C-alpha cells in the first residue's frame, strides 16, 4: 500500500479529551476517529488491526467446532418482551421504531435472538450440542462512555452461544471455549488472567471474566502470587485463617468517647489497634434490619452479605433508620445490649476477637473487653468481607495481590434462563420435552484492540505485536526525486510484496523527520529506509520494538526481515 493512496491522518498534538495512552495513540496515529461520544470510525489502519483480531478469534472458535453466523442488529421488541428484559433494561438498551411504528431494540447482545432461531430449528437431542457465534457490532447507550474504544456505545463483539441436553455437555463446551479464549488472548500478546466472576462459595463456577492487567482497567482483581487463582474483588473468597488469643476474658467496661466516631479514631483514642475493634453496620436486607459485624480493619462486602442471606436487596440503613432502630448514631452502634431485638450476622474474623471494643449503642459511649458469645450472640458467621492484599489465597497457595483489569472476555453458564422464558425445547431420548441448556461467551473485539494498544506502546508511539500489526514493513524512501532511491524503493516494494510481505510505503513528499516520526507513531514492527547508500544497494533496517538498527544489502533483505518478523512473533 502506498501512503498517498490510503488515509493515515497522524496528529502532532495529544487530543485534549483522550486521557489514556491507547486512546491518545490510536487517535494520533490515525487508526480511529470519534464521530460522537463513544462512537468511532476505524480508519484503514484501525480496520486492518481489527480484522487481525477477528481472524484470531475465528481461527480459535472454528478449531473447536463452533459455526459462525450473523444475526441482525435490529431485534423485534417482542423477543425482549418474551424474555422479560424489555422492561428490565433502561436507557442503556437503545430502541427505535420502524416506519410502521413497530418497536425494535438495537442489539446489545443476542440471547433472545439466538434462542428464537434455535427454538424454531432444533427439536431433538440428536442435534445437540451446538455452538454458534457471530462477530458483530453491538449497541449499548453507556451513561459515561470513556477511554476511547475501551467503553464505547457502539463496539465490535464476538458473541457465542452453545446449546446442550445436559449440564455435563455444557461443562465440556465451557472448558473448550475457556481454552480457546486463553489461546486468543495469548496470541494477542496480552497479559491476562481468567478471573472467577461469581463467588466460588456458591458452588457457582458458572462465570469467568478474562481480564487484561492494566492500571487503566475499571475492575479490581485479587490474584495469588503463587497460583493461577484470580477473582473479581467482590467475589474473592476469604479463608478463615485466624487464631484465638490466649488473653483472659476481662470485665466489660463502658467508656466515654465524646465525638469519637470512626474506627480509626476509636482505636487511637483507646490506644488499641483497629483489628481489636468490632465494626457494626446496620443493613436493610429485603425488608428486615440486620446488624452485620466485621473486624475494624476489614470492609463488609455487601454482595457477599446478599448472597449469604439469599436476599434480593441489601442496602445500608439510613441515619434516621439507625436512630429509630438502635437509638444512636452509626459511630456508636455495637452488638451488645440488643437482647435479640435484631438479627446479628458476622464475618468469620469476629469469632476470634478477645476483649474487643464495640459501640455501646449510646451516643459517645463505647464498651471495652467485649467478647463474642459471652457479650453478644451471633446468629451466623460467614465470609462477609472484602479480601485484602496480603490475605492468604483461597486455594491455599500463596498470598493475594491486587491489580486493575480490563474485561476483554466473559463466559457464562446460562442454564435454561432463556429457553424456559422463550420456550425453546427439544425431545430427549425418551421422547420427553426438555428446555435446552445454554452457555454464552463474549469477547470485546474492539476493546481487545485497545487493550493491545494500551499494553504495547512507548514514548514514540504504538509498538504492535507482529501478528496484529496492520502491515509487516514500513518502507521509507528519503527522497523520491533521487533516481537511485526511487528505483531501489520501487524494486523493494514489488519484491517484498511478491514475497508475501504486507508493505506500507511512505511515498509522500514529506521531510525525513516527519516520515520517521509518523513511522514510530504508527508502530509497524520493522522499518526499511532507502537513503544515501541506495546506489550501493544498501538500506537501513530498524526494529521498532528495540530500536535496533542495521545496514543490509538488498540481496539479504528478505532473509533479514523474515528472521526479524518471525523472531518477534514467538
Distances (CA, A) of 208 to 160, 175, 195, 519: 15, 11, 5, 39
Nearer to ligand 9G3, 159 or 518 (CB): 159
* Cα–Cα distance measured from residue 550 to residue 394, given in angstroms and rounded to the nearest whole number: 51
Least distance in angstroms from the C-beta of 157 to ligand 9G3: 7
Q: Euclidean distance between the first and final Cα of the chain, in Å? A: 26
Least distance in angstroms from the C-beta of 92 to ligand 9G3: 4
How many CB atoms are closer than 10 A to CB 83? Answer: 17
Q: Which residue's Cβ lies closest to ligand 9G3?
A: 442
DSSP letter assigned to residue 274? G
Nearer to ligand 9G3, 128 or 440 (CB): 440
Helix (H) / strand (E) element for 440: namely strand 437-444
Span from 85-93, 187-195, 248-256, 356-364 in contact with ligand 9G3 (CB under 6 A): 85-93
Nearer to ligand 9G3, 164 or 410 (CB): 410
Span from 88-96, 183-191, 205-213, 381-389 in contact with ligand 9G3 (CB under 6 A): 88-96
178 lies in the binding site for ligand 9G3 (CB under 6 A): no
Q: Is 147 helix (H, G, I), strand (E, B) or coil?
A: coil
Nearer to ligand 9G3, 93 or 285 (CB): 93
Least distance in angstroms from the C-beta of 82 to ligand 9G3: 14
Phi, psi of 291 (to 5 degrees): -95, 125
Kindly tell me which residue out of 129, 296, 442, 444 binds ligand 9G3, with binding defined by CB under 6 A.
Answer: 442
86 lies in the binding site for ligand 9G3 (CB under 6 A): no
C-alpha cell at 531: 537513503
Q: Report the half-sphere exposure of 501 (CA within 13 A, side-chain side).
A: 29
107 lies in the binding site for ligand 9G3 (CB under 6 A): no
Residues 391-410 that bind ligand 9G3 (CB under 6 A): 410
28 lies in the binding site for ligand 9G3 (CB under 6 A): no
472 lies in the binding site for ligand 9G3 (CB under 6 A): no
Nearer to ligand 9G3, 112 or 506 (CB): 112
93 lies in the binding site for ligand 9G3 (CB under 6 A): yes
Helices 445-455/44-63 angle, 10° precision:
110
- Beta bridge pairs of residue 160: 133, 441
Span from 42-50, 259-267, 302-310, 440-448 in contact with ligand 9G3 (CB under 6 A): 440-448
DSSP string covering 510-550: --HHHHHHHHHHHT-SEEEEE-GGGGGTEEEEEETTT--EE
Q: Is 350 helix (H, G, I), strand (E, B) or coil?
A: helix
Helix (H) / strand (E) element for 133: namely strand 130-139
159 lies in the binding site for ligand 9G3 (CB under 6 A): yes
- Strand duo 526-530 + 473-477: pairing: parallel
- Beta bridge pairs of residue 254: 367
* Cα–Cα distance measured from residue 544 to residue 330, given in angstroms and rounded to the nearest whole number: 59
255: closest CA among 372, 371, 364, 338? 364
C-alpha cell at 199: 463467588
Interface size with ligand 9G3, residues (CB under 6 A): 12
Least distance in angstroms from the C-beta of 50 to ligand 9G3: 18
Nearer to ligand 9G3, 140 or 208 (CB): 140
291: closest CA among 338, 244, 324? 338
- Beta bridge pairs of residue 300: 385
Is the separation of the CB atoms in 309 and 290 below 8 Å?
yes
Least distance in angstroms from the C-beta of 253 to ligand 9G3: 53
- Beta bridge pairs of residue 381: 346
C-alpha cell at 192: 491476562
Kindly tell me which residue out of 28, 52, 140, 348 binds ligand 9G3, with binding defined by CB under 6 A.
Answer: 140
Nearer to ligand 9G3, 359 or 442 (CB): 442
89 lies in the binding site for ligand 9G3 (CB under 6 A): yes
Least distance in angstroms from the C-beta of 64 to ligand 9G3: 16
153 lies in the binding site for ligand 9G3 (CB under 6 A): no
Nearer to ligand 9G3, 73 or 539 (CB): 73
92 lies in the binding site for ligand 9G3 (CB under 6 A): yes
109 lies in the binding site for ligand 9G3 (CB under 6 A): yes
Nearer to ligand 9G3, 372 or 442 (CB): 442
Interface contacts to ligand 9G3, rule CB under 6 A:
89, 92-93, 108-109, 140, 159, 410, 412, 440-442
Amino acid at each position: 500500500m502506498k501512503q498517498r493512496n490510503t488515509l493515515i491522518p497522524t496528529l502532532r498534538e495529544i487530543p485534549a479529551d483522550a486521557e489514556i495512552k491507547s486512546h491518545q495513540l490510536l487517535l494520533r496515529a490515525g487508526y480511529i476517529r470519534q464521530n460522537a461520544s463513544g462512537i468511532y470510525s476505524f480508519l484503514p489502519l484501525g480496520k486492518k488491526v481489527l480484522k487481525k483480531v477477528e481472524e484470531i478469534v475465528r481461527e480459535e472458535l472454528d478449531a473447536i467446532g463452533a459455526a459462525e453466523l450473523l444475526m441482525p442488529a435490529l431485534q423485534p421488541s417482542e423477543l425482549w418482551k418474551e424474555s422479560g428484559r424489555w422492561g428490565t433494561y433502561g436507557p442503556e438498551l437503545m430502541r427505535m421504531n420502524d416506519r410502521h411504528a413497530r418497536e425494535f431494540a438495537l442489539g446489545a447482545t443476542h440471547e433472545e435472538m439466538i434462542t428464537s432461531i434455535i427454538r424454531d430449528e432444533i427439536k431433538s437431542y440428536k442435534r445437540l450440542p451446538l455452538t454458534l457465534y457471530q462477530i458483530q457490532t453491538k449497541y449499548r447507550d453507556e451513561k459515561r462512555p470513556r477511554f476511547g474504544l475501551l467503553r464505547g456505545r457502539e463496539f465490535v463483539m464476538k458473541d457465542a452461544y452453545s446449546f446442550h441436553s445436559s449440564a455435563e455437555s455444557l461443562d465440556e463446551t465451557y472448558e473448550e471455549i475457556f481454552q480457546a479464549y486463553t489461546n486468543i488472548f495469548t496470541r494477542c500478546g496480552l497479559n491476562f488472567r481468567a478471573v472467577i466472576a461469581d463467588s466460588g462459595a456458591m458452588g457457582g463456577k458458572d462465570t469467568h471474566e478474562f481480564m487484561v492487567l492494566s492500571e487503566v482497567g475499571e475492575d479490581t482483581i485479587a490474584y495469588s502470587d503463587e497460583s493461577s487463582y484470580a477473582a473479581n474483588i467482590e467475589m474473592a473468597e476469604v479463608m478463615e485463617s485466624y487464631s484465638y488469643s490466649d488473653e483472659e476474658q476481662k470485665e466489660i467496661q463502658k467508656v466515654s468517647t465524646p465525638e469519637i466516631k470512626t474506627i480509626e479514631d476509636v482505636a487511637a483514642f483507646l490506644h488499641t489497634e483497629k483489628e481489636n475493634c468490632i465494626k457494626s453496620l446496620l443493613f436493610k436486607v429485603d425488608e428486615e434490619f440486620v446488624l452485620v459485624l466485621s473486624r475494624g480493619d476489614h470492609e463488609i462486602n455487601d454482595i457477599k452479605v446478599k448472597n449469604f442471606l439469599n436476599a434480593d436487596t441489601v442496602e445500608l440503613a439510613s441515619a434516621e433508620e439507625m436512630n429509630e432502630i438502635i437509638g444512636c448514631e452509626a459511630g456508636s452502634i455495637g452488638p451488645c445490649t440488643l437482647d435479640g431485638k435484631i438479627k446479628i450476622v458476622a464475618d468469620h474474623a469476629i469469632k476470634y476477637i478477645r476483649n474487643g471494643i464495640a459501640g455501646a449503642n449510646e451516643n459517645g459511649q463505647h464498651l471495652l473487653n467485649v467478647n463474642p458469645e459471652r457479650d453478644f450472640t451471633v446468629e451466623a458467621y460467614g465470609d462477609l468481607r472484602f479480601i485484602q492484599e496480603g490475605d492468604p489465597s483461597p486455594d491455599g497457595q500463596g498470598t493475594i495481590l491486587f491489580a486493575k483489569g480490563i474485561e476483554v472476555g466473559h463466559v457464562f453458564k446460562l442454564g435454561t434462563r432463556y429457553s424456559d422464558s422463550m420456550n425453546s425445547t427439544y425431545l430427549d431420548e425418551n421422547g420427553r420435552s426438555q428446555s435446552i441448556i445454554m452457555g454464552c461467551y463474549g469477547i470485546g473485539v474492539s476493546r481487545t484492540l485497545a487493550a493491545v494498544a494500551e499494553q504495547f506502546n512507548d514514548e514514540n508511539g504504538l509498538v504492535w505485536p507482529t501478528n496484529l500489526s496492520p502491515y509487516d514493513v514500513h518502507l521509507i524512501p528519503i527522497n523520491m526525486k533521487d533516481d537511485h532511491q526511487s528505483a531501489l524503493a520501487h524494486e523493494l516494494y514489488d519484491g517484498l510484496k511478491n514475497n508475501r510481505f504486507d508493505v506500507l510505503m511512505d511515498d509522500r513528499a514529506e521531510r525525513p523527520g516527519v516520515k520517521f516520526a509518523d513511522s514510530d507513531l504508527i508502530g509497524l514492527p520493522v522499518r526499511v529506509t532507502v537513503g544515501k547508500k541506495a546506489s550501493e544497494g544498501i538500506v537501513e533496517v530498524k526494529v521498532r520494538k528495540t530500536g535496533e538498527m542495521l545496514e543490509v544489502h538488498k540481496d539479504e533483505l528478505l532473509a533479514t526481515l523474515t528472521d526479524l518478523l518471525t523472531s518477534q512473533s514467538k
